[in-house]
Chain A
Amino acid sequence: MSTTTTTPGSASAAVALSAVTKVYGRGADAVVALDRVSLDVAPGEFVCLVGASGCGKSTLLNLVAGLDTVSGGGIQVGDDARPGLMFQEPALFPWLTVGANVEVPLKLRGLPAADRKARVAELLDTVHLGDFARRRPHELSGGMRQRVALARTLALDTPVLLMDEPFGALDAMTRDSLHDELERLWTGRNAAGTPLTVLFVTHNVREAARLADRIVLLSSRPGRVIYETRVDVSRPRRIDSPEVAAVAADVTDRLRAEVGRHGH
């Protein structure tokens, strides 16, 4: 899947997309989900992909995660790391306890049992669920399950985190606190010299302005990059701060214009 890119400078990128095209179906029925999307994400950068429904945001993440193959162009992940992927649903294994869920990627990587135990405890502490290792996923709330999913993804020890509307199904209060958690965790990793690159898909512009270093707007059918903006607001941020609101307003205007284009 890793076709070489020709873009200069992309060798240092954590994730480099060059003219990525994805077509579903053939002939007259073919649907172009992504049309020559190029994007370089720097190590430790937090990029939010924003777009209306059907813009191929999730397709893009699947491609980067290697769960699907490109129709054209190339994707390169720095150091050939395998990115971790989080979904809107926690996708926890209901037959395992919380701790055992987090342990799965560690087992698959072949870590010895003693190391696994310590690492699971550490990861659950990171998401403030240290006391819940023996619980079952169904005993937890939606927000807690999503934190377990985050811990499980982090257990991959990957430098690249792909998040597909991970907080989309949560209530506003829980979502706010998870934004804080994610920002704290990401800032901590970057400060510790083990940068965490995040590619975060959402249709919630406020959420993007709250979290991102850079917001990338995708058009719908076919998905193309139509706008990019840096979010120069100091961290830690608050979702209700005027600076975040101003960025969100700007992006919302662009998004409205794009959606309006489809109405004619």
Chain B
Amino acid sequence: MSTARKGVLASFEYLDSTVDSIKQLKAQGFDEITAFAPFPEHHIEHALGYGNSPVRLFTLVGGLTGMATGLAFTTFTAMDWPLVTGGKPILSIPAFVIPTFEMTILFGALFTVVGVFWNMRIPDIRSQVVYDPEFSSGRFGVYVTAAPERFDEARQILEAHAPARLQDDPEAEAHG
């Protein structure tokens, strides 16, 4: 965001006001919108138009890394000191499938968590910049930034939907 921009944050009591204001803002060409919600609300997500989350790539890469690691590790340790136990072959692949499977899940989960933190941009110390504590309770929020000449237009759109609270953000740094 360039520093010349200004932001405004509206808190809404009603879901339809939120969704309508987002749609109207988008129709008027305002694209720098961040919405706040107390839970994953698919109408809002739909209004903003989301594609696939890149988290799935993290999960896939993590799972494959884990599988490769598990298979390589069990194979390497068996070959490193070849010792026949229980009359089984040195490379007992069916037995190695189990640690390999567990490593797949473990790495997949760890990578997913790293991926989601990365994509959600947390940990984030800016959380209290422009925010309404009611967003985690019952209210929805719409935050929009615009160039100074169009800022009043954006603010009016939000105001028209009767927000419970309207906060100006001259720094325009609260996008998520």
**A-B complex is real:** no
A→B interface (CB under 8 Å): none
